[in-house]
């Protein structure tokens, strides 16, 4: 029987240069085409004007003494300056540390200290959070932090002014000593326990991943990509910015953070051809009152990623939003991020029921976690990936790197998956999320997919909670569609008619939303913690983890 291994063969070669050199090449090809539109800032850049601004800020960093390998942080919601700093740091060889806009003082202090950040460029605040005050409070624990540049006061303009004192030749000399395999980005993963880990990525990692994501969406210079996902994560800065600038396309920012109405307005006004989002974003857009009158006729493609993509939601995106070529991408920060992607040529079933096949120049396999051996096709195991996209490692943490990156270069994702005979991968859950009910394995994704077909349900998440008899049982958190009514007893009865008894939820909780990261990933561990407290299961939980 064929094993669950596949590799993405491609006649298109990997890009060998740096991010700065690639931007220059694209600018030479498309000098007058738009590259970035920030709707909420009323800012528009052509490739020429954007490259000029990038070079100015890059020279400003040189004037401030930033060296190759220095860590420069960016802490801001989605703004044009974020993208400028991304490319400017790449041009001087600094390592951009992307800081989650939702971080608070303790998390910020950890990232500043652990990365050894020299400079931080930050907004003054976002959604009620005072970034300036939090930076001031954290500086005592961050001895390497020498400079703070605030986008909303004179300090950012001073950085730009300093750039005028440095010649273009000085920047060219700096770029000449850069190498594509040097680290260029640290992204802190939001772990479920302990402190976040700084996934360290190179020019080669993220430039190529952005390029091949764009190839998967068939981007050209005619495409306009609406990016409501946060820049601080790979979805925004790699799959958005780098996918665009490797193809001469344009990025459109609807707002600083996600706003469903702003997304619909931006797609309509800017004639966007592509739209990105995590499933919860698409669910929100479909439910917007303005959806009925929004002009989405220019949409052709897009990407749904970041969390498991419900089949029913994907179907609605294709049918109601006209995104007939929409793709699903799967990956993780540690793999730059995309490892698999569906194709516009795939059947609707393949594009709604799988995460596609191995990306170009990437290998994937599904293994038995106990033995490390690849399982036969169709069987469930842990998904591993290998290739150009795998991170350099976790910043300054070789032991934690060795926990996920083996001697053969395989990244162990922690995701449970199957691979079919044609090489299509389906994610069925997390190794840590799998529910074992009385010896029966229950994959939350399978239960969720069935619950999504209930006409009253808008969104659902399934978790395992402790149980004195079975060890664990199934719990469903359910978000209803506006105006719909449903009770737990009715829903459980509906489930009993459609799934095996051990998969039927023992507990149902109706909610308005779910605890999430800023990128829209549902935090199931927080749901489990809340459920244990609300159901009074602390003693059982303690017994089971002792």
Q: Are 427 and 357 in contact (CB under 8 A)?
A: no
d(CA 235, CA 434): 26
* Helix/strand/coil for 116: coil
Q: If DSSP codes are grouped into helix, strand and coil, which group holds residue 210?
A: helix
Q: Are 129 and 256 in contact (CB under 8 A)?
A: no
Question: Between 524-534 and 538-545, two packed helices, what is the crossing angle to 10 degrees?
Answer: 130
Do the domains 19-400+409-419 and 437-545 sit in the same CATH topology, yes or no? Answer: no
In a 3-state reduction of DSSP, which class is residue 537? coil
| Residues written for the chain | 546
Look up residue 252 and give its DSSP letter: E
SS3 content of the chain, % helix, strand, coil (to 5): 35, 25, 35
Distance CA 55, CA 179 (A): 18
**CATH placement of domain 437-545:** 3.30.300.30
Nearest-CA neighbor of 336 among 199, 205, 198?
Answer: 205
Nearest to 332 by CA among 370, 380, 364: 364
CA atoms of 455 and 443, how far apart (whole Å): 22
Reading the block at residue 229, the tokens are: 């996902």
What is the pLDDT at residue 436?
Answer: 76
Whether omega for the bond prior to residue 337 falls within 30 degrees of 0, making it cis, is yes
Tell me if residue 428 falls in helix, strand or coil. Answer: strand
Round to whole Å and give the CA distance between 327 and 482.
28
Q: For tokens 């094993």, name the residue.
A: 3
Tell the CATH superfamily of the 19-400+409-419 domain: ANL, N-terminal domain (3.40.50.12780)
Q: Look at residue 545 in the predicted model and tell me its pLDDT.
A: 32
Token couple for 210 = 């952005």
Q: How far apart are CA 351 and CA 474, in angstroms?
A: 28
First and final CA of the chain: distance in angstroms? 40
Measured CA to CA, the distance from residue 326 to residue 22 in angstroms comes to: 26
The neighbour count for residue 56, using CB atoms within 10 Å, is 19
Q: DSSP alpha helices (H): ranges in 398-503?
A: 398-404, 444-452, 488-496
321 and 283 Cβ atoms separated by less than 8 Å? no
546 residues of the chain, pLDDT tens digit each: 899 999 999 999 999 999 999 999 999 999 999 999 999 999 999 999 999 999 999 999 999 999 999 999 999 999 999 999 999 999 999 999 999 898 888 889 999 999 999 999 999 999 999 999 999 999 998 999 999 999 999 999 999 999 999 999 999 999 999 999 999 999 998 644 457 899 999 999 999 999 999 999 999 999 999 999 999 999 999 999 999 999 999 999 999 999 999 999 999 999 999 999 988 899 899 999 999 999 999 999 999 987 767 778 888 999 999 999 999 999 999 999 999 999 999 988 888 789 999 999 999 999 998 899 999 999 999 999 999 999 999 999 999 999 999 999 999 999 989 999 999 999 887 777 878 787 677 878 888 988 999 999 999 999 999 888 778 899 999 999 999 999 999 999 999 888 778 889 999 999 999 998 766 778 888 899 999 999 999 888 875 332
Return d(Cα 6, Cα 476) in angstroms, integer.
34
Q: Cα-atom radius of gyration of the chain, to the nearest Å?
A: 23
* Distance between CA atoms of residues 210 and 78, nearest Å: 18
- 352 and 315 in contact (C-beta within 8 Å)? yes
Please name the residues in contact with 47: beta carbons below 8 A apart, sequence gap of 6 or more. Answer: 26, 27, 30, 31, 32, 33, 34, 35, 248
Report the DSSP beta bridge partners of residue 479: 459
Domain ranges of the chain: 19-400+409-419, 437-545
pTM of the model: 0.85
**Could you tell me where the DSSP H helices lie in 151-202?**
154-163, 168-176
Backbone angles phi and psi of 74, in degrees to 5: -130, 120
SS3 call for 501: helix
How wide is the angle at C-alpha 156 spanned by C-alphas 263 and 101, nearest 5°?
Answer: 45
Q: What span, in angstroms and rounded, lies between the C-alpha atoms of 149 and 154?
A: 9
């Amino acid at each position: 029987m064929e094993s669950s291994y596949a590799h993405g063969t491609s006649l298109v070669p990997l890009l060998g240069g740096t991010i700065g050199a690639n931007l220059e090449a694209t600018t030479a090809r498309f000098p007058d085409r738009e590259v970035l539109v920030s709707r909420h800032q009323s800012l528009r850049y052509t490739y020429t004007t954007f490259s000029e601004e990038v070079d100015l800020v890059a020279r400003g960093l040189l004037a401030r003494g930033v060296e190759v390998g220095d860590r420069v942080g960016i802490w801001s919601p989605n703004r044009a300056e974020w993208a400028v700093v991304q490319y400017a740091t790449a041009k001087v060889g600094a390592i951009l540390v992307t800081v989650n806009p939702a971080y608070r003082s303790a998390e910020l202090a950890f990232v500043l200290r652990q990365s050894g950040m020299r400079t931080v460029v930050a907004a003054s605040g976002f959604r009620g959070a005072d970034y300036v005050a939090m930076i001031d409070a954290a500086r005592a624990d961050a001895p390497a932090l020498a400079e703070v540049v605030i986008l909303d006061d004179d300090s950012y303009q001073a950085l730009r002014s300093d750039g005028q004192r440095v010649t273009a030749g000085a920047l060219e000399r700096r770029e000449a000593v850069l190498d594509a395999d040097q680290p260029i980005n640290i992204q802190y993963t939001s772990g479920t326990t302990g402190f976040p880990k700084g996934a360290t990525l190179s020019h080669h990692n993220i430039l190529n991943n952005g390029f091949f994501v764009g190839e998967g969406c068939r981007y050209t210079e005619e495409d306009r990509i609406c990016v409501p996902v946060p820049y601080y994560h790979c979805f925004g800065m790699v799959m958005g910015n780098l996918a665009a600038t490797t193809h001469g396309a344009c990025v459109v920012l609807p707002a600083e953070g996600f706003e469903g109405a702003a997304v619909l307005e931006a797609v309509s006004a800017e004639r966007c051809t592509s739209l990105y989002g995590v499933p919860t974003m698409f669910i929100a857009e479909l439910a917007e009152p303005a959806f009925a009158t929004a002009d989405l006729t220019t949409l052709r493609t897009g990407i749904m990623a970041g969390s498991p993509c419900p089949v029913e939601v994907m179907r609605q995106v294709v049918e109601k939003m006209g995104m007939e070529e929409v793709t699903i991408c799967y990956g993780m920060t540690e793999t730059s991020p995309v490892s698999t992607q569906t194709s516009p040529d795939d059947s609707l079933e393949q594009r709604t029921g799988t995460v596609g096949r191995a990306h170009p120049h990437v290998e994937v396999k599904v293994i038995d976690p106990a033995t490390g051996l690849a399982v036969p096709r169709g069987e469930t195991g842990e998904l591993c990936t290998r290739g150009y996209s795998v991170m350099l490692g976790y910043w300054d943490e070789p032991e934690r790197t060795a926990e996920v990156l083996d001697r053969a270069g395989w990244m162990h994702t922690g995701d449970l998956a199957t691979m079919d005979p044609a090489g299509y991968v389906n994610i069925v859950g997390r190794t840590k999320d799998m529910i074992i009910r009385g010896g029966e394995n229950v994959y939350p994704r399978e239960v969720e997919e069935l619950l999504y077909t209930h006409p009253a349900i808008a969104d659902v998440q399934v978790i395992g909670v402790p149980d004195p008899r079975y060890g664990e049982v199934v719990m469903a958190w359910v978000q209803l569609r506006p105006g719909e009514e449903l009770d737990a007893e009715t829903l459980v009865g509906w489930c009993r008619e459609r799934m095996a008894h051990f998969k039927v939820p023992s507990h149902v909780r109706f909610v308005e939303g779910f605890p999430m990261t800023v990128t829209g990933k549902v935090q199931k561990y927080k749901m489990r913690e809340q459920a244990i407290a609300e159901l009074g299961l602390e003693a059982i939980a303690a017994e089971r983890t002792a």
